[in-house]
Amino acid sequence: AESIASALSMVQINTRNRILLEKSQQQAHELAEQDRKMRQNIEMLQVAQEEATRREREITGILKAINQSSLVLELDTDSRILSVNERFCQLIGTKPQLVTGKRYATLMNLDITSDSYQQLWNDLNNGKPRHSVESIRLAGGREIWLSMSFTPLTDMNQQINRILCIASDITESKQQEIVLQEKTRELLRKNLELETLYHAVDESLIRCILQPDGIISDANENYLRTTGYARKEVIGKSYRNFLKSDELDQFVKIWNELMKEKSYSGVLKRTKPTGEEIWLMSGFTPLKDENGRIYKVYFLAQDITEKRLKYKLLEEANKEIERLRNLLWKETGR
């Protein structure tokens, strides 16, 4: 009996030892796994910290570069200025302590009741970046223009807590833009005047446009009516085709001078298809392109045929009067 009891006791002891050993081994395994995970987490944390440090240095470098090259304002969500960099202060001729705490609208002399201003801050407080161009009138009266980019910044809870404004001085380009706009308006005004003048000339004068080779590229109704030709008969044809031999000789001389950039004005005779002669007080003017080359010649004229005929009749009448006077003097001796 004692032997059996001893054997049972040994079995129980061995079983208990085995269970304890298994638990010990399991605990050791769990501790080893926990240690492995902890080391892994520590390594990941170190990598994250190194990445965060790298990103912080990178962001710091970017902010430093921005601060040195741009105009920087930091605002709260109520549009009050939290900070302003030195470049901004130098530009507007003030000191940071005189600007900090002021509202953005006060600094920029903006109307806080305007729809555009209300929309700007409504968008910013809703997390929407915005861009605007504003002007500041300095104490001395000089006006400067700024291109301003606003970016909402958030805290750890993703709540917007401030607005970063990065601006650049665009005064020079804005002034050039204003000058360009003024010149554009002046050019439009002059073009309108020229168009009005062109229509006035077209209504009152005979007009024909010639290419450098003498080809007719355009002619107004006055030209067609006075010369007696239809548009399809003259457009694309040489001006020389419509001249009599004596008219052609004169035209060649005039044209040679025109190609030397010399204008011409004088009385010219032209002949209609019917053989009727007309007299024109004429002007030829060569026009040059941006390279200084003649690209077309303007021909403007007035029909003075009737005046010339009246003058000729008057001249003949005067001659007849003079002849009769001489005849009377011979017959009467006085």
| Of the candidate ranges 25-39, 101-115, 164-178, 187-201, the one whose mean pLDDT is the lowest | 25-39
Chain segment 147-183, per-residue pLDDT in tens: 999 999 988 888 999 999 999 999 999 889 889 999 9
CA 151 to each of CA 36, 72, 122: distance values in angstroms, whole numbers, following the listed order? 43, 12, 13
| Of the candidate ranges 109-118, 121-130, 248-257, 321-330, the one whose mean pLDDT is the lowest | 321-330
9-26 burial: b if 16+ Cβ within 10 Å, else e? eeeeeeeeeeeeeeeeee
- How many CB atoms lie under 10 A from the CB of residue 250? 14
User: Which is nearest to 299 in space by CA: 245, 244, 234?
Assistant: 234
176-194 burial: b if 16+ Cβ within 10 Å, else e? eeeeeeeeeeeeeeeeeee
Is pLDDT of 257 > 60?
A: yes
User: pLDDT band for position 40 (50/70/90)?
Assistant: confident
Fold topology of 193-303: Beta-Lactamase (3.30.450)
Q: What is the mean pLDDT of residues 250-275?
A: 93
The predicted model scores a pTM of: 0.53
In the chain, the percentage of residues whose pLDDT exceeds 90 is 52
CATH number at 65-171: 3.30.450.20
Chain segment 195-237, per-residue pLDDT in tens: 898 888 889 999 999 999 999 999 999 999 999 999 999 999 9
CA 53 to each of CA 44, 46, 106, 115, 182: distance values in angstroms, whole numbers, following the listed order? 14, 10, 38, 43, 53
Structure tokens at 312: 């000729």
Contacts of 166 (CB under 8 A, 6+ apart): 66, 70, 71, 72, 148, 149, 151
Is pLDDT of 330 > 80?
A: no
CA 154 to each of CA 61, 100, 160, 165, 300: distance values in angstroms, whole numbers, following the listed order? 20, 21, 4, 14, 74
Predicted pLDDT of residue 43: 82
Chain segment 7-30, per-residue pLDDT in tens: 666 767 777 777 777 777 787 777
Predicted pLDDT of residue 313: 65
Q: Output the CA torsion 208→209→210→212 (10° steps).
A: 150
User: pLDDT band for position 42 (50/70/90)?
Assistant: confident
Are the beta carbons of 223 and 231 closer than 8 angstroms?
A: no
Domain boundaries, the chain: 65-171, 193-303
Q: What is the mean pLDDT of residues 114-124?
A: 93
| Of the candidate ranges 22-36, 111-125, 151-165, 311-325, the one whose mean pLDDT is the lowest | 311-325
